[in-house]
Structure 1
Amino acid sequence: MPDYVSNPTDGATKTRRGVATRPREDLEPPPLYKVLLHNDHYTTMQFVVDVLEGVFSKPHDAAVRIMLEVHHGGIGVAGVYPAEVAETKILTVHAMAQEHGYPLKCSMEPE
């Protein structure tokens, strides 16, 4: 017997070994956070572009645009993610920056 079988009376209900379950409709999506890159006078523009492409999966043109926002405005949004994803990306950026000898910093704030 398969783990899940459709209930013939209701396509939205599934039965698992005699226990009926329904999808939860009352769940809200997790809150989102902006990951911010902060400008400094030491991290190269190319390294920031590499971070945006590698860590944040930005296409080259978008990475250059965000890097220029950071460079000229002091701060830029690298992406918007649930809290745990944002925290992981920040830790990854900080580790990469430290490994390459740059003081690049990231932070996060609610969207």
Structure 2
Amino acid sequence: MLAQMGQAFALQPDRPANETIHELKELQIARTALVKDRTRLLNRIKTQALSLTERHSKARLAQIERQLAAIQTEIETRLRGDDGKARKGGSCATPSICLPSSPCASTSRCRKNTRR
């Protein structure tokens, strides 16, 4: 029955998602988790009374910043090396991940521009 419907409407099968898209999504998830962890630590530092725990939190905060920078560099590398294969219609390959110089960064379709 489905085969007849597909033939009647001349449907074409969808292409599977590019491997780059899956990798970018994984990097985005890691970045989001680090941002949440950074926010949690910044809030915790405001209430810590002991210098030891504050020092540990600041060291962890510095580590998170380094990890965020590494992830952002990897995202930019993958987006530049993608040559537009992962981008569809001028929008981001993955929501909230795009380069400032990409065509979608200046449009309202880019979710990066709608963040606060």
TM-score by length of 1: 0.27
**Structure ranking higher in strand proportion:** 1
**Structure ranking higher in helix proportion:** 2
Asked which structure has the greater RCO (Cα within 8 Å, sep 6+), the reply is 1
Structure number with larger C-alpha Rg: 1
